[in-house]
Structure 1
Amino acid sequence: MSVGTVYGVGLGPGDPDLMSVRADRLLRRAKHVAFFRKAGRPGQARRIVEGMLPEDRVEFPMEYPVTTEIPLTDPRYNEILSRFYAECTAHLRGLAQAGEDVVVLCEGDPFFYGSFMHLYTRLKDDTPVEVVPAITGMSGAWTATGAPVTWGDDILTVLMGTLDEDTLAARMGAADAIVVMKIGRNIEKVRRALRRAGKYDAAHLIEFATMPNQSVQLLSDAEDKVTPYFSIIVVHGQGRRP
């Protein structure tokens, strides 16, 4: 029996029209479809492909056992997630070894801060895996602002809101253009870091980029606002231009 392939399919920033042709083809003929989601929720990746999958597909929702319930610094966090990824990998490997292809839905690009990476590293040495790249969420976010994010020799720095404030402030201060992801509960820390770096007044907050409920505003106009999961902060570069 031939071995199946696990496809990590990037879905782009959220608008189905921004998927690649290859992603669309794989989705419409998929027999097995896997996707991550928070327990009790449909999952953003699954929502994006609504109406695109074959009626007879078999779905495998992979529900995170923990998200923000315990801090990232708690040793249990990595232990719990490592066990979770190992269990998901075993299921996907079993399907592939039985000759079945599996499409794993990935928000944004599979190799850019995505959960699929944890499956890929566990599968790649003994199971055929193919990755379908996609437009990143940050690309959708800065495009939504209606202004180029970098000019000439601008240095673009991508930061996680989960970093400590001193690191954030130092990296922001050294950058020309900035993207901050994973904001959520870290919003006040990110605001303080931007102020320390002298970039606060130039920062934009983009929520649900490319989606029907997209919102774009200056971060300074969103004081006291709790940002959703799908939010990104962008500071545009102002570098060399003709």
Structure 2
Amino acid sequence: MITVQPSAVRCGTIHGVGLGPGACDLMSVRADRLVRGARHIAYFRKAGRSGHARRIVDGMLRDDVTEFAMEYPVTTEIAVADPRYNDCLSAFYAGCIDHLAGLVRGGEDVVVLCEGDPFFYGSFMHLYTRLQTIAPVCVVPGITGMSGAWTASGAPITWGDDVLTVLMATLPEEDLVRRIRDTDALVVMKIGRHLGKLRRAVAAAGREDEAWLVEHAAMQDQRVTPLGEADAVTPYFSILLIHGQGRRP
């Protein structure tokens, strides 16, 4: 008599899927296919919020999908320089990893929804580095928010030999001034409550007349405004641009 051994359970795969800047029709074909076919999805969000990544795929998910919302324990409540900040987030990511690893060890695939591109200032990177030795991980690139912003502005961000600098508005003001002054083309992200500091830095660098603020790029309520005319308070999804004016035929 021949005894047939049961086959080992297939290990699942974690898919970090870039959703693009905000409009669902700007996803790649691969991203669309994975999102629509996913039995398990995961996404980051603030506590009490639906989460922007989740809103992008609203209406695209299968009826029997299981959702795992990864809610940040802190955002701005603790200063980044405070050791408690890293401790809190490290514990948070460890909990997320435990949950996702349990699914893939059971043979399930999981799609992690990522705003923009998963490898560009996204929270998925913190999962990726921790998951690499635990489970197969595949990454689907997406259109970045800054690409959506300069497209919304109606002008190329770089020409010829222009140097493009990408900054976070969370940087110290003196660093912002120096880098804004020294670059040809500029993108500034993570503006939020740092708008006042950013305005001062742009003015100190002598580039206020070149700066544009793009809010909700590629979304329904998209708005492009010269920095000098922008509101005092900006939404989270705001990006500042200075277009390069380099070599051209």
Q: TM-score range by the shorter chain?
A: over 0.9
2:107 is the counterpart of 1:99: yes
Q: CA deviation at 1:180?
A: 0.2
Q: Structure 2: which 5+ runs fail to align? A: 1-8
1:133 maps to amino acid: P
Name the structure 1 match of 2:182.
174
1:163 maps to amino acid: L
Length-normalised TM-score, structure 1: 0.98
Name the structure 2 match of 1:29.
37
1:193 maps to amino acid: A
Q: Matched residues in 2 for 1:4 and 1:199: separation?
A: 50
Name the structure 2 match of 1:147.
155
Name the structure 2 match of 1:239.
246
**Local SS of the residue matching 2:42:** strand
CA offset digits 1:105-154 (Å, max 9, x no partner): 00000000000000000001221000000000000001000000000000
Q: CA deviation at 1:198?
A: 1.2
Name the structure 2 match of 1:227.
234
Q: Structure 1: which 5+ runs fail to align? A: none
Q: Matched residues in 2 for 1:207 and 1:77: separation?
A: 28
Identity rate of aligned residues, in percent? 67
Root mean square deviation, CA, Å: 0.7
Tell which structure's C-alpha radius of gyration is larger.
2
Q: Matched residues in 2 for 1:88 and 1:158: separation?
A: 29
Q: CA deviation at 1:199?
A: 1.3
User: How many aligned positions are there?
Assistant: 241
2:196 is the counterpart of 1:198: no
2:125 is the counterpart of 1:117: yes
CA offset digits 1:26-81 (Å, max 9, x no partner): 01110000000000010000000001010100000000000111211111111111
Q: Matched residues in 2 for 1:184 and 1:70: separation?
A: 16
Length-normalised TM-score, structure 2: 0.96
